[in-house]
A = this chain, B = another copy of it.
Amino acid sequence: VAFQGEPGAFSEEAALLLLPKCAPMGFPTLDRVVAAVKNGDVEAACLPIENSIYGSIGRSFELLYEADLRIAASCVLTVRQCLVAANTSTLDEVRIVASHPVALEQCRGLFERHPHLSPLIAHDTAGAVRAMKDGALKADACIASSFAAQRYEAHVILENVQDDLNNYTRFFLAAEPAVVPTLQGSAIRDRATLAFELQNAPGALWEALGAFAKMKLNLTNIVCRPIRSQPWAYRFFVELKARPEQLDAAVLDLKQYGYAKILGAYSTSL
């Protein structure tokens, strides 16, 4: 299973949550993760799709759509940042704390409460832990997950150092359509994601969403993305609470208004 990031990244933890027996393989970008599925280097991709603080990760939806992959499952991972040191030093001994800018930003309170700490920008949370252990990064500690600390045999000095305790990230497990049934087994598919494109006209989105409202299907997310080849034209991704048989009727209705495609029907049990 391909994931974006270095070994020890949250996405690797998510891949192991979705498929406990899988062998996760890290790639530098989301584009490379999806390319690895298309090339047959991996069987599935684990893609972050939404963070409760930062919002939807549009690029993941776009890649699923372009590569014509299907969503096999979804899971939610709680983001718990820790202060991780290379050795058994104490908080008082730490000066420079390295991490990805987003992780540093998530822990602003830590730096305010302990003014002797200075942030240092690194390009990855888990990668910072590895570079610190290697001696390649001149930091006394990093902000990273306990999963990353474990992976690189580093020491957790403080747990739960992020400001917002309601910090969750959702992930999709996606694969080629033929592979999806094997990954899903007998899981109950209670959720679905659709893509559709609309003409930019008054009421167009309202008319299209009527297809779901009529059937009393609850929308749980909507993502609006520019269509790359047509500036300021949009593709929508919606997630619904729907069983597979309800889905087909809704898509048929939706197709009156423009192009529509099912990206997957899956379980949200994880």
Which residues of B have CB within 8 Å of A201?
218
Q: Which residue on B lies nearest to A241, using beta carbons?
A: B202
A-B complex: 3 closest residue pairs judged by Cβ atoms: A55-B58, A203-B213, A206-B213
Copies of this polypeptide in the complex: 2
| 24 sample A-B contacts, Cβ–Cβ < 8 Å, listed by A number | A52-B231, A52-B232, A53-B226, A54-B58, A54-B59, A55-B62, A55-B225, A55-B226, A101-B123, A164-B228, A166-B228, A166-B229, A200-B218, A201-B218, A202-B216, A202-B218, A203-B209, A203-B216, A205-B219, A206-B206, A206-B209, A209-B209, A221-B224, A224-B224
Give the interface centre of A55, A105, A168, A229 by most chain B CB atoms within 10 Å: A55
Which residues of B have CB within 8 Å of A202?
212-213, 216-219
A101 contacts B221, C-beta separation under 8 Å: no
Chain A interfacial positions (CB closer than 8 Å to B) = 28-29, 31, 50-56, 58-59, 62, 101, 105, 121, 123, 164, 166, 168, 200-207, 209-210, 212-213, 216-226, 228-229, 231-232, 234
